[in-house]
Structure 1
């Protein structure tokens, strides 16, 4: 078969021949450019064989780097691709037009959802202060009440002890309706109780309320004491608002001989009209102050830390001294003073002279504020000094060392020191005492220059020199 001439080749063969010719041309051009460089490097390396080993290693590393760079540029030149460098990229790269408006700047991040408090589905059993059930444990009430509910026992999940009695926790919102339907059984179980749902109140403190008011019945004048029923009707007539709960404050109830009393008055949360600052009740001007809601601080009654006692697995501690070896019922004085002496308590938190549940403790959590470690150390330092003073003023026969860190050992159980009149505290900066002198002073040579010369007549001394 006859071979076709160049003019009759197809497009693929033509493109292949053109690429081969161009590659051959660029290879010969690259040979002219890079060949002198390669020859120079090879010649220089061959003439430096007499160098020291460390110099030869440095030169070899440099030559290898230069050879690799030259090989990379040579290959790029033959293939027709320009070697990319930072200068070439910045020189020939197209400039991107920056948008006038930044869309990301106007994109607002979605606000985190505020976790709403769960509804309180508990059913409260209000008991008098002297009710026998208040002395029983919540689990005993739970197990006994479930046996009384029979087929509806699964509706009761838990029983919690509260300040006013107990709270019945349903297993579901539907179970709350089941427990409410069993109010008669629950009332017969507790006897003398009030059962109601949880409700949010708007609370006021009304002060300067007279303890007794006068009335005339059948022509006879008499004084009757003010009770919650009488006060509720008086407030309803004056403000047109019906209170849902009225109770006397603990301070007022503890001082019945005072001329006036103070009361907590609670209204439903939907009450729109607030009470005025001054109310005229029983012909007397009283003062009403709104009570804002405070964050409840939960304190464990087992270890006295700041968490719920139902989930506490720590060892029980004494409320008075913080010891884990006994509880408050087994607390005894380790002081050698005679009875009825009582050593002051020691707070497990601030180490001050008060129990662990003292409301005014300086390290008691308040809202979202937290003390730093340095602040805690300073508070414990001052409270420890106050505890030492309280022990001295209380007549404790031994002074106990006080630490700044919480330890499971109570203050009464710490090793004692001999009694002294000075308050011992590790936080006080102690200056080292001066070095005690030895019994016999060191023997040194006499310094004649420090002795006082006897007074002499200078003329007599001159005569002695002449003689």
Structure 2
């Protein structure tokens, strides 16, 4: 797709920073204003192919609680939707981009909660009709775990080897029967365990990662826990082959001599930083352009 855009718009490969698949289509990030202007040119070949091209916009969302379903007027009750757009403009001094009811609450309740999207943030809280103060929507930073190597980063930027989510080996098997060993902390659990000490934590809306020093201590403790959980197995495997064969019957010796481990455990790699995906413009099916 990048090569096609470069050919059609007369750009260089370096003019397009990235192209990402998003929920509404594709998000294209240009490297400069000139490239961005060309890409959003009206009646371009993208629109001729049926694509809807829009410049990316940042919306500011607010939750307005306990708005009445109907408004009592001189002529009787009327639905609040007849007046809501004008009320938002009067309270915020700007036209709303869009507004909608939330999915929470009883459909038979006399009041509803609404979400209002504005093009510009408001400096002060506002109220609509008989509502409480509007509350800004704060986006939660997601903790992303790669489903390829099981480190904590955006999988689209991962160039690491595929790892087994159960034992951490560099080969992934559908049915691994080896003891679980986390690829991040080395502890006796699978890589997707939410209680892993190496997993980043969310604090005040910000993802906080363990420092390198903390991660080193976590992995040392994880290895100790793994060894304690599998002490008998590790002690047995540390014996010389001859000593192990003496403990086994003839059939067991044959199995030992022919034994292969389909998914051996290895040391885990360090984790990479999260790459935040570029969000698409909600509900447009658009190609969004960012710089």
Length-normalised TM-score, structure 2: 0.49
Which has more radius of gyration? 1
Length-normalised TM-score, structure 1: 0.34
Q: Higher relative contact order by CA 8 Å / sep ≥ 6: 1 or 2?
A: 2
Question: Of Structure 1 and Structure 2, which has the larger fraction of its residues in helix?
Answer: 1
Question: Of Structure 1 and Structure 2, which has the larger fraction of its residues in strand?
Answer: 2
